[in-house]
Amino acid sequence: MQKKETNQIKKYQDCVLEKIISLKETKSYIAVMKSLEFEDNYLVFSVGDIEATLLTIASNKDIVKLHRPDTFDIYINTLEKLGNEIREILITEKKGTLVTSEIIIYNELENNIVSIDCRPSDAINIALKKDLPIQIKEDILSSYEESISKIYIVDSSVNSGINDIFYNNLPLEQLEKKLQECIKYEEYEEAEKIKKIIHDKKRN
């Protein structure tokens, strides 16, 4: 899989991590990805506090010097020692708060290409360390205002207070359905919150 072919078939745009925003009122973080090809094409998604710290370190690698290899350095070094070449970092899909990404790896010894599923924050970290472009599928990019508004609509950490009131007024059947949706999209913190509400409703 060559980069040119990938872009022709799936229509990706080269993007960069523009910034990490701290939402102090909710103690959460969002990553802002910006297209290098079109001025107002963005992807914004939530990241945890540890991921936000690691991304900040990786994006300032010329300033922040680590004395020992971190987890991503070990991962990259292991792959390369085994005859692999990291060729592409793709962000492929966004459903609700779940963003999916892939690392495209070429193995010279076996002359084949494999795709590894991973979290976008991990993929971006590797891209930053290897100075690789981050390619994001066009249909999940949108204007900055629209991207931010989507976070405020679907991100449970941003709307936690609103969601608490909403969930407490839902019947058990709908809460169970919402719980399954959260598990499906890996929104585990929100799932735990709904589990507690379900438990309290059943006790009462």
Question: In terms of Cα–Cα distance, which of 21, 25, 23, 22 is closest to 34?
Answer: 21
Are residue 145 and residue 164 in the same domain, yes or no? no
Token pair listed for 63: 């300033």
Handedness of CA 117, 121, 127, 129 (dihedral sign): negative
Are residue 25 and residue 55 in the same domain, yes or no? yes
Q: In what order do the strands lie in the sheet with 42-47?
A: 42-47, 28-35, 12-23, 134-137, 84-95, 98-107, 112-118
**Domain holding 13: CATH number?**
3.10.690.10
For residue 135, CA distances in Å to 23, 81, 132, 197, 201 come to 26, 25, 9, 40, 45
Are residue 123 and residue 44 in the same domain, yes or no? yes
For residue 85, CA distances in Å to 4, 29, 112, 134 come to 17, 31, 11, 16
Count structural domains, the chain: 2
Q: 3-state DSSP call for residue 17?
A: strand
Query: For residue 157, what pLDDT is reported?
Result: 46
Are residue 111 and residue 183 in the same domain, yes or no? no
Token pair listed for 66: 């680590």
Q: 3-state DSSP call for residue 172?
A: helix
User: Which string of DSSP letters, residue by residue, matches 97-165?
Assistant: TEEEEEEEEEETTTTEEEEEEE-HHHHHHHHHHHT--EEEEGGG-B-HHHHHHHHHHH-TTTTHHHHHH
Are residue 32 and residue 92 in the same domain, yes or no? yes
Quote the CA–CA distance of 48 and 16 in Å, as a whole number.
19
Q: 3-state DSSP call for residue 61?
A: coil
Domain limits for position 77: 3-154
Predicted confidence pLDDT, tens digits, the chain (204 residues): 444 444 445 699 999 999 998 876 667 788 999 999 998 899 999 898 889 999 998 988 887 778 889 999 999 999 999 999 999 999 999 987 789 999 999 998 889 999 999 999 999 999 999 999 999 999 999 988 788 766 654 444 444 543 554 566 667 888 888 888 888 777 777 788 888 888 888 887
Are residue 144 and residue 176 in the same domain, yes or no? no
Residues pairing with 89 in the sheet = 103, 134
Provide the whole-model pTM: 0.69
Are residue 56 and residue 91 in the same domain, yes or no? yes
Q: Are strands 134-137 and 84-95 parallel, antiparallel or unpaired?
A: parallel
